[in-house]
Amino acid sequence: MFPAIPMSNPPVHKARKRFGQNFLQDQGIIRHIIASIKPQPQQGLVEIGPGLGAITEHLLAAAGALDVIELDRDLIPHLRIQYATYGNNLRIHEADALRFDFSQLSSETDGLRIVGNLPYNISTPLIFHLLDYAPLIADMHFMLQKEVVLRLAAQAGENNYGRLSIMAQYFCQVENLFAVPPEAFDPRPKVESAIVRMMPYNQLPHPADNFQHFAQLVKTAFSQRRKTLHNNLKGIMDTSQLATIDIDTSLRPERLTVADYVKISNYHQNS
């Protein structure tokens, strides 16, 4: 059961293409999302892109306090009016989440819990931006294009596995929770959506000696997916030596695990 919040008539707002806005309307999907998040009082809850407040309503009811990041300045007055009874417990940041400093929200809680229906056109760069703050984050629940969720959660050897999979899974446990059909939104997007849960590790299972070197290595390895690891990496290292650490360079890049790439990076750094 989710506590009800008295609401005035919903604001009239036309979705803007330049902000990638598709407003979630389906109450069953909304309840499913909230049940997956399980928001509680005294948690550092943050919502990116609250829009018309479909999820905001339930987050506030359960937690009592919330930070929201909204770029569309026309929506901010509606949010202030709609949730005026919460006063300073609803903290609205008019900002671009791609440039927002999430460390300013860090508190004495057990980590930030970030939620958002992310615009499809910025979802991947925004996730990379958030991974920079992984030590401050307890978990993230996002609505994304289904294709992006499949890439985030893919395992080595699967068709969707690639650079995004590796970089996300270096920092986080990633779980594809459930699909969301286009008819759950207004306006309807042209693609399917899905909910993903990302939980940063307290201790990295496969830490790189030099993260920037690791990240560049992964990017280079996937520069031409259909070529072998030997062909993609030969310009930056002597791949023949990788046999000494049990790396088969005749494989394509999508066949190697996160641990394999960390092993290659650390070997190259220290050889």
The pLDDT value recorded for residue 16 is 42
pLDDT-derived band of residue 1, with 50, 70 and 90 as boundaries? Answer: very low
Give the pLDDT confidence of 37-65 residue by residue, as tens digits.
Answer: 999 998 999 999 998 888 999 999 999 99
Query: Residue 29: how many CB atoms within 10 A of its CB?
Result: 22
Whether 9 is covered by a domain: the verdict is no
Kindly tell me the number of DSSP H helices and DSSP E strands found in the chain. Answer: 9, 9
Here the tokens at position 47 are 């919502």
pLDDT score of 108: 66
Q: Of 200, 225, 253, which one is at a domain's C-terminal end?
A: 200
103 vs 6, more confident: 103
Contact, 269 vs 209, CB < 8 A? yes
Asked whether residue 189 is domain-assigned, the answer is: yes
Residue 262 falls within a domain, yes or no? yes
Query: Residue 222 CB: number of other CB atoms within 10 A?
Result: 19
Query: Predicted confidence band at 4 (pLDDT cuts at 50, 70, 90)?
Result: very low
| 265 and 149, same domain (yes or no) | no
Calculate mean pLDDT across residues 98-103: 96
Q: Percentage of the chain with pLDDT > 70? A: 92
Look over the chain and give the mean of its residue pLDDT values, rounded to a whole number.
Answer: 90
CATH number of the CATH domain containing 183:
3.40.50.150
* Residue 143: closest CA among 74, 50, 57: 50
Confidence band for 20, pLDDT divided at 50, 70 and 90: very low
Is the Cα torsion angle 40, 44, 49, 53 positive or negative in sign? Answer: positive
- Both tokens of 118, joined, read 């992310």
Q: Are 99 and 174 members of one domain?
A: yes
For residues 195 and 216, membership in a common domain is answered with no
Of 102-111, 213-222, 254-263, the least confident: 102-111
Question: 88 and 220 share a domain?
Answer: no
Arithmetic mean of pLDDT, 245-250: 96
- 119-132 mean pLDDT: 92
Report pLDDT digits (tens) over 138-182: 999 999 999 999 999 999 999 999 999 999 999 999 999 999 999
Overall domain count for the chain: 2
What is the model's pLDDT at position 106? Answer: 75
Residues 196 and 215 reside in one and the same domain: no
Share of the chain above pLDDT 90, in %: 77
Asked whether residue 55 is domain-assigned, the answer is yes
Range of the domain at 66: 17-200
Same domain, 47 and 28: yes
Note whether 228 and 180 are same-domain residues.
no
Is residue 114, in this structure, part of any structural domain at all?
A: yes
Task: Judge if 247 and 129 occupy the same domain.
Answer: no
Q: Does 73 lie in the same domain as 177?
A: yes
CATH code assigned at 252: 1.10.8.100
Q: Do 84 and 152 belong together in one domain?
A: yes
Render pLDDT for 82-95 as a digit per residue (tens, 0 to 9).
999 999 999 999 99
* Residue 232 and residue 184 in one domain: no
Q: What pLDDT band is residue 188 in, cutting at 50, 70 and 90?
A: confident
Choose one of 200, 233, 258: the last residue of a domain.
200
Domain-located, residue 111: yes
pLDDT-based confidence at residue 35 (cuts at 50, 70, 90): very high
Query: Is residue 8 one of the residues assigned to a domain?
Result: no
Q: Could you tell me if 169 and 102 lie in one domain?
A: yes
Query: Using an 8 Å Cβ cutoff, are 102 and 136 in contact?
Result: yes
| pLDDT reading at 10 higher than 90 | no
Which among 200, 231, 260 is the end of a domain? 200
Residue 186 belongs to a domain: yes
